[in-house]
Amino acid sequence: MTPFFFGPPTRRLYGVYHPPAGSHRAALQVLLCPPFGQEAVRTHRLMRLLAEQLGRHGIPAMRFDYFGTGESAGSDEEGCLTLWRDDIALAQQELDRRTRAVQSVWLGVRLGATLALMASATTPSPPQRMVLWEPILDGPAYLRELGAAHAQQTYDPFIQPTRPPESIRDEVIGFGVSPEWIREVASLNIEALASTPVEDCVHLAGNPSERANEWIKLQQTRGHAWRQQTMPCLDIPWHTEEADGASLAPPELLRLLIASIKGEAT
């Protein structure tokens, strides 16, 4: 693997390129779009293992950090969905520069899947396939989920007399957020994400929500060949510490992700 920085001088992004192994190389290339905050921390090992296994299949892959996250430039509070959407397009350009692949697949996790949807509708070169693992389709519900998790994990009854409020202000479990970030997340809904030029899409979930089922049906009525894959290994307690026993890299999950990327999931 090759770590590097890319993007304009005012917005340097950190990426890791995983080249294909051996002489047999697939026509695909894969861009991995991470989730937000602690979810990105929890999936970091999974994304690395996935990229390494894709390389063994002859498929080049690239991981990256959005602006204001991970090893990329910028502070937490400078990140926003519009900027991160554009980061995906920049990362795709960098991946194109490094490979000879003719087809692109984007795999996004949680908020990263939503950002991939947003980017696919604005980039001049959308991917041929997207694999979306539990995209955030209801922004207000996601903010409530984050707020509850933040309150639970930051509350210490021996220090604080009362439980902190569950509303998001400027931090989510150790990650700073701006008012703009909160406004953008609050505006996310299936209507805003309904239009995308990507025809082949796999929606992955352990226990699909009613909102997700409604969104899939909406895509299908528009004539898009979008499929839904449900498996127990996808039912992840996102805001539970990994040390509590929830592994995010089981072999069956990696196999499912690779099959979805290659268009072989059923």
Q: Write out pLDDT tens, residues 82-95.
A: 999 999 999 999 99
Distance of alpha carbon 117 from alpha carbon 115, whole angstroms: 5
Rg (alpha carbons) of the chain, rounded to whole number: 18
Phi-psi region of 223 (alpha: psi -120 to 50; beta: other; left: phi over 0): left
Q: Write out pLDDT tens, residues 131-155.
A: 999 999 999 999 999 998 888 777 6
Q: Domains in the chain, please, with CATH?
A: 2-136+190-261 (3.40.50.1820)
Q: Is 104 helix (H, G, I), strand (E, B) or coil?
A: strand
- Report residue 183 as tokens: 């406004």
Burial class (CB in 10 A: 0-12, 13-18, 19+), 173: middle
Note the pTM of the prediction, 2 decimals.
Answer: 0.91
pLDDT in tens, the chain (266 residues): 899 999 999 999 999 999 998 766 678 999 999 999 999 998 999 999 999 999 999 999 999 999 999 999 999 999 999 999 999 999 999 999 999 888 999 999 999 999 999 999 888 888 999 999 999 999 999 999 999 888 877 766 666 666 666 678 888 888 999 999 999 999 998 877 766 667 788 999 888 788 888 888 887 787 777 888 887 777 777 876 554 444 577 888 899 999 999 888 66
Distance of alpha carbon 31 from alpha carbon 21, whole angstroms: 17
Q: Write out pLDDT tens, residues 55-106.
A: 999 999 999 999 999 999 999 999 999 999 999 999 999 999 999 888 999 9
Burial class (CB in 10 A: 0-12, 13-18, 19+), 138: middle
Q: At what angle do helices 81-98 and 111-120 cross, to 10 degrees?
A: 70
